[in-house]
Structure 1
Amino acid sequence: MPVRGLTILVAADDGDRLHAALSFAAAGAARGDRVRLHLHELAVGLLRPPIRAPADADRARTGIPMLAELLEEVLALGVAVSVCQSGLALYEIDLATLDHRIEAQGPVGLLAAAGDDRLMIF
């Protein structure tokens, strides 16, 4: 029986929600699961420098990875990270300015790639 993967969709301009989504993506990838993470529209703005979440200072103080660190960890673990083309346009972000491991993808492409994967929405 084929193994189902995990597709995580972040649809809000909320750094702490993105941190939670990245945490689940990292956990799945560390388990050996196939994981993809997609930032939809407003969530794309969270990738503008500096990449940070409201609770990052508390995280740093307690040894929990901050948002930018967790994003790098997820990319290093091989999670397929994509961003909404509309979100790029909305925030006037050039894809070339983002990490080269992040790709642009629309809803149709994301759903086609997800197939039978489980879906989590943050």
Structure 2
Amino acid sequence: MGLFSKLRRRGDDDGGADQPLALDVDARRTQLQDLEQALDGLVRLMRERTDLMENPGWRAKITEYDMVAGEAMQLRRGTPTREAVLDLGFEVRPAVTAKNTNGGLDEIVAQQQVALAAAQALIDVLPSER
């Protein structure tokens, strides 16, 4: 069968609907642990900045990261679903950017990048899930 025939028939069998992904649970558990550890490290670094703890936004972000790390742990210990993994990945948003690090937040920005990369890894479809 030629390439064009395959392309024309591609949507005929399933009505154009996407096939569900088979979640690679073992790989996702590893990724969840990576996210949990990255967020725990980020929370630890953020709490060390006692000069910023008076800022309610700073404290709220610490609480948010701590909560997401706990959710990652619970999801890792249970049976993760694709929807739950995606929801968790999209919950992680940056607290600081590189351009507003005048207060010596370089270490926090670096750890935040690790956490954001771990969250993005949860969002991305793994080759073993295709």
TM-score range, shorter chain: under 0.3
Give the TM-score of the pair, scaled to structure 2: 0.26
If you compute each CA radius of gyration, which structure gives the higher value, 1 or 2?
2
Give the TM-score of the pair, scaled to structure 1: 0.27
